[in-house]
Amino acid sequence: MGIEKIVSRESKMKNYHSLIPAAGRGERMGSAIPKQYLPINGRPMIYYAVARLCAHAQISTVYVILAPTDEWWKNYDWSAFSAKLRILRCGGAERFESVRNGLDEIKEKVNPEDWILVHDAARPCLSNELLDRLFATVGDHSFGGLLAMPVADTLKRANDEQQVLRTESREHLWQAQTPQMFRYLLLQRALSLLVGEVVTDEAQAVEKLGFSAKLVLSDNTNFKVTHPQDLRLAEWLLREE
């Protein structure tokens, strides 16, 4: 089945699968262990993404993509999620390579028109409400969309000396988050066609095929843990929940 048929049809398929790329280390955290295993309230950070996605009734399978040499995963008990959780040890050097490798690994287990949700291991505070909003907004869309937020802060472009060159307009600018949700065949094709290029999210790869993803309003709680101080905020939010 070609991409054109998938994006033009009014598909009633409601099969959802999730990928969590977790092969990186998160160098900006300055940690001796990969960022996804840093503790938050007594559990590794990735636990919260796994738990949220596995608990959602609409998601059939949750695939975690690890580096082939990952030695940390086995140190934790994941048996509570065994009904949906599957491990793929095919992570690449870049995020998009991990996702592309994961899609290739599961090609015999999914349909071309199935929905694939790609979610960051470092976004532990994803809520059911945001997942439901993504499904409701994108589930009947031709090919996909993503959680995102309009940019609220004033944007400054700097030179190499960290001096302001100019103020950039924030009109129509959105900050991309995850999950990003696309039809399997479209996403697999978009990533497989990248040659000598690096993309920072799935939506960018899909854009290169000429498709415009649907933006779904998110909120600040679905932030990405990037710096050490972000851990404290995630801990507080998850305790409150």
Of residues 34, 199, 95, 208, the one with CA closest to residue 103: 95
What does the pLDDT read at residue 195?
A: 85
Q: What is the pLDDT of residue 28?
A: 64
What pLDDT is recorded for position 18? Answer: 98
Structural domain count, the chain:
1
State which residues form the domain around 78: 3-240
Residue 179, preceding bond cis, omega within 30 degrees?
Answer: yes
CATH label of the domain that carries residue 115: 3.90.550.10
Q: How far apart are CA 40 and CA 13, in angstroms?
A: 36
Residue-level pLDDT at 139: 85
- Residue written as token pair 């065994």: 82
Reported as a single tens digit per residue, the pLDDT across 205-230 is: 999 999 999 999 999 999 999 999 99
Query: Which residue numbers in the chain have pLDDT < 50?
Result: none
**What global pTM score does this model have?**
0.93
